[in-house]
Amino acid sequence: MTRIYLVRHGETDWNASQRCQGTADVALNDTGLAQAQTLAHALRDIPFDAAYTSPLQRARRTAESVLNGRFLHAVAVSELSEMSYGDWQGRAPHEWPDGASRQWTETPWSMAFPGGESLEQVRLRIGPGIDRIVHNHPGETVLVSGHGHANRVILIHATGRTPDAFWDIDQPNGGAWLLEYSDERPGSVTVTQLPINRAADVAVAPPVIQTS
């Protein structure tokens, strides 16, 4: 069984003000640093064999918190970066052109951000990236530190869920998901959301995305 602990970075000021970050390199705020510490405490007993992170500092800082005190450093992988909002980075959805916010909410896969990416473009880069990580670590336990939209695409890719599930996948700041890849049944992945609500709470919740 290969296990991937997929985490989302802690909060930034842009998260708090609902501004679109994308590939903008925004730092964690005080709340985000505390969330990263809570996540680190919750995962303190997980024996990671390897770790990977988006190159953006909010994801790197979160990975560093989880790995603090271990003889292990996260490798930055460009494919794990967040979706680019292009010309709209730094703007809140209510500041987008008329109809764009509704389109993004109702049919996110139909959006192509000007000067940025579509979710399909994210899938084409991030799917092979996560597959390569799984392939390179058979039977091992790996930390992957990423972003809300990028992580949703990873979870859809891993489980074979339809793209329509995009907004159904919870991605709280400082949250974590466990992806278990079966060695006996290739292509079978069980995904479980971990309830990282308080420092001591590491019990595994019922699977949110079933084995595929």
Catalytic residue numbers? Answer: 9, 82
Tokens of 203: 């019990």
Look at the block and give the residue holding tokens 């019922």. Answer: 206
Look at the block and give the residue holding tokens 């995904």. Answer: 191
Compute the distance between CA of residue 211 and CA of residue 188 in angstroms, rounded to an integer. 6
Compute the distance between CA of residue 209 and CA of residue 212 in angstroms, rounded to an integer. 9
Look at the block and give the residue holding tokens 């703007």. Answer: 91
Distances (CA, A) of 19 to 44, 46, 119, 163, 175: 32, 33, 18, 24, 19
Tokens of 172: 């709280």
Looking only at the bridges linking them, the beta strands covering 2-8 and 189-194 are unpaired
| Torsion sign over Cα 113, 92, 39, 53 | positive
User: Which is nearest to 188 in space by CA: 164, 166, 212?
Assistant: 212
Count how many residues are written for the chain.
Answer: 212
Compute the distance between CA of residue 11 and CA of residue 191 in angstroms, rounded to an integer. 23
